[in-house]
Amino acid sequence: MYAFNYHRAKSLDEASGLVAKAEDGKLIAGGMTLLPSMKLRLAAPSDLVDLAGVDGLKGITVSGKTVTIGAMTRHVDVHTSADVKKAIPALAALAGGIGDPSVRNRGTIGGSVANSDPAADYPSAVLGLGATVETNKRKIAGDDFFRGLFETALEPGEIIKAIHFPVPDAAAYEKFPQPASGFAMVGAFVARFGKDVRLAITGAKDHVFRVPEMEKALAANFKADAIAGIKLGEDDMLSDIHCSADYRAHLVTVIAKRAVAKAAG
Amino acid sequence: MSTKVSMNVNGRKVSADVEPRTLLVQYLREHLGMTGTHVGCDTSQCGCCNVHLNGEAIKSCTILAVQCEGANVTTIEGLASPDGELHPMQKAFWEHHGLQCGFCTPGMVMVACDIARRKPDADEQTIRHELEGNICRCTGYQHIVEAIHAGLQAMNQAKR
């Protein structure tokens, strides 16, 4: 790991200012992705601004049909929250499947969402539930947030404060984990709001995406069989030593069916 | 540029000026000379470096020492009583031969104590699932799982 300057921010304004002032500043939340990337020298920020000391970024609140999760809330807290389990059990289950217990004791929802790793679990819930990402500057719809490989709508100095998840009538997350890392080779988050259905796929392309043709079929008939015949093309699917593009395309249908079966069950 | 960091390690207040890139595990091993915490993979996969940060298991190779400002850290050296009496989980690992080469053992024991905190009545299947982040290259896990199961029971009994 290359040397860097370390700052403990006390407020969002201070954090934003410190990042802006630095030559190549980066925010650190749980650090579960950033620190390994820095060890590999894939990332070499000049300055790290730690958000751990900023008040008001942690915690879970439910009001009406919305679950709000602070950006610095850890995976273990989402997984074990009685409120999340009651309102959106699929989200609590998703959080419990990230990394391993010691990683879940550090990793945060804001860090995961801001990173937009193509194989991360949380982005599928943000997009699948149509959540709203609240930053220190504005509110961004889940549909507009994820832009590409490790790329989001966040501007320089913009910091996620919280994520607002609408409570669905039914939802489920299923993934086909890479056996060693547990990362999703393909993950599917499906949610039904009345007659509307949203389906977000992670792990398959360079960033999380929705599948309108499957959503339409599921809106008409919320059963796994309804999408059994829908296959995605393999053109822009990821391909690596774990999984070829055509296999990933195949997995999308399989895993989406499993998610629907779980949600409909 | 170095940054000052103070924390409490196994009940002892420690403080140092460290380079910000110093990992917690480096601080423990190289600055404090506490080599009980091991570095197996340095990529947060193997779990040998697990310590407790404010009572919860974390991988000390994937956190900066400066992130632990003001925290309570417990390492494998902090489990036994000052008179040398082993912690019930350590005893269970001894009695059930929950190790072979011993390299992964500090991390296994620290995670086992974290399981005890969260799931004191964990069954075999739960224990195996909870060990997802701990890799052992010798034992095939069988005796480790048996040791943790026995350790949980011993800790539950001590509570009564």
Q: Which one of B43, B64, B114 has the shortest CB-CB distance to A101?
A: B114
Split at pLDDT 50, 70, 90, the class of A74 is: very high
Contact at CB, B56 and A105, closer than 8 angstroms: yes
Express each pLDDT in B68-94 by its tens digit.
999 999 999 999 999 999 999 999 999
Element (H, E) at B13: strand B12-18
pLDDT digits (tens, 9 = 90+) for B83-140: 999 999 999 999 999 999 999 999 999 999 999 999 999 999 999 999 999 999 999 9
Residues of chain A in Cβ contact (below 8 Å) with chain B: 1-6, 8, 28, 31-32, 35-36, 38-39, 48, 50, 52, 76, 99-103, 105-106, 180-182
Provide, rounded to the nearest whole percent, the portion of chain A with pLDDT above 70: 100
Closest residue in B to A2 (Cα) is B21
What's the pLDDT score for residue B64?
98
Number of A to B CB contacts under 8 A, please give it: 73
Predicted pLDDT at A180: 83
pLDDT at A131: 98
B111 touches chain A (CB under 8 A): yes
Q: pTM of this prediction?
A: 0.96
pLDDT at position B6: 98
Write b or e for each residue in A215-234: b if 16 or more Cβ atoms lie within 10 A of its Cβ, otherwise e: bebbeeebebebbeebebeb
What one-character DSSP code corresponds to residue B90?
A: H
pLDDT at A147 over 90: yes
Distance between CA A93 and CA B84 in Å, rounded?
41
SS (H, E, C) B19-62: CCCCEHHHHHHHHCCCCCCCCCCCCCCCCCCEEEECCEEEECCC
Test A2 with B21 for CB contact under 8 angstroms: yes
**Is the ipTM reported for this complex over the cut 0.85?**
yes
Element (H, E) at B89: helix B88-95
In angstroms, the CA A98 to CA A184 distance is 9
Amino acid at B160: R
Residues in A closer than 8 angstroms to B114, CB to CB, are 101-102
Minimum distance, in Å, between the CA of residue A32 and any CA atom of chain B? 7
